Amino acid sequence: MRFFSIAQLRHYWHYFKMDTPLFLLIITLSSFGLIVLYSASAGSMLTIYKQAFHFSLAISAMLIIAQIPPYVLRRFSPFLMLFGIFLLILVLFFGSSSGGAQRWLDLGFVRFQPSEIMKVIVPIAIASILSEKTLPPKPMPVFLSIISIAVIVLLIARQPDLGTSLLIGASGIYVLFFSGIRIQILKNNWLNISLIGSFIVGSGYIAWNYLLMAYQKKRIMTLIDPSSDPLGSGYHIIQSKIAIGSGGIFGKGLEQGSQSQLNFLPEHATDFIFAVVAEELGFIGVLFLLTLYGLIIYRAFVISFQSEDNFSKLLGASLTLTFFTYIFVNIGMVSGLLPVVGVPLPLVSYGGSSLITLMSSFGIIMAIRKHKTPRYLQQ
């Protein structure tokens, strides 16, 4: 009877279109995140209940999206892109403000951030544009992709939300990278490098003098020298470094970290939760966390590269590399290697909207694994 029940469970599990290794890795990391969050929130069960509710919504979204064949997403990608742009324009005119930024749409019964949706829509749309023909793509699809990415980035940067706009822009650039495009402006490679280097320097000069706001410049200067304003803009980084450095090999133990438990470390349940992991669980806890991340990334890449069509390959690989980027940016920010931006640590930080977006991405990757591509769409 027991074997019959297991066989029956496997039978029904097959219809959920879930990749079992990836799903188990996500659940393991999410459970680890809840333990760390419990400690970071000083044992607040209310915070854990709220985050568990967020996880239930996110897993439901992943389960639903996993049932959608990738070719359906490809077919509706132009409408998704136009819908996303429409929402971003609405934010500029009718969005609700908080903390000096106008990033949300308030519908009365729900308040959401359209830029979160674009984290999934942009890779879908760019992968659809570039996979129309054989790879590497022709100049026209590449040009159309760059224009689309630029429009989205500018609309989000106007909110202002420079960090999110750059991350979403990167997710589109990743699709271009995996499509195999080759940037060759001139025939001589050294001239190409010089021209691209000059463009980067010139862009940096223009951005610093004409585009970046005062608080954004201050974040960059704080990155270079946090001690210049130890009680102001440099406070986050200084306290975070103290927490990371004091953890040692085995850490101080759950709920024993001085920086987080005594509230020296700001945002210790959200953006700076990695510092809590390092302080309370030490190098071993950080290594365990990074190992789980590495296994998830490896499995997602395997699924992407084994897919049957170019669209699925480009989409899955770009979503996976975007997931890695969120990890890299958060840990770099908390460690003082990158400017402080509002990027949570995936599957660990407290939050709902970013978690649902992330799980939706994994739902797409699982759909790539479980759905067969029609023969006429295989390239």
Contact 360, 118 (CB under 8 A): no
By three-state DSSP, how is residue 311 classified?
Answer: helix
- Alpha helix locations (H) across the chain? 2-15, 20-40, 45-65, 70-94, 114-130, 139-157, 162-178, 189-206, 214-224, 235-246, 258-261, 273-305, 310-334, 353-370
Q: Residue 376: its pLDDT value, please?
A: 46
Q: Is the pLDDT of residue 212 over 60?
A: yes
Angle at 215 between CA 214 and CA 216, to 5 degrees: 90
Where exactly are the structural domains of the chain? 20-377
pTM: 0.89
Q: Residue 263: its pLDDT value, please?
A: 77
Amino acid at 262: L
| pLDDT band at 8; cut points 50, 70, 90 | low
- pLDDT, tens digit (0-9, with 9 covering 90-100), for 163-179: 888 899 999 999 998 88
By three-state DSSP, how is residue 336 classified?
Answer: coil
Cis before residue 136, ω within 30 degrees of 0?
A: yes
Q: Residue 319: its pLDDT value, please?
A: 95
Phi, psi of 129 (to 5 degrees): -65, -45
Neighbours of 305 (CB within 10 A): 13
Q: Is the pLDDT of residue 248 over 90?
A: no
Token code pair at residue 267: 């945002």
Q: Is the pLDDT of residue 238 over 90?
A: no
Q: Is the pLDDT of residue 182 over 80?
A: no
Token code pair at residue 280: 């309370």
- pLDDT, tens digit (0-9, with 9 covering 90-100), for 58-104: 999 999 999 899 989 999 999 999 999 999 999 888 877 776 677 88
- pLDDT, tens digit (0-9, with 9 covering 90-100), for 287-341: 999 999 999 999 999 999 988 888 999 999 999 999 999 999 999 989 888 888 8
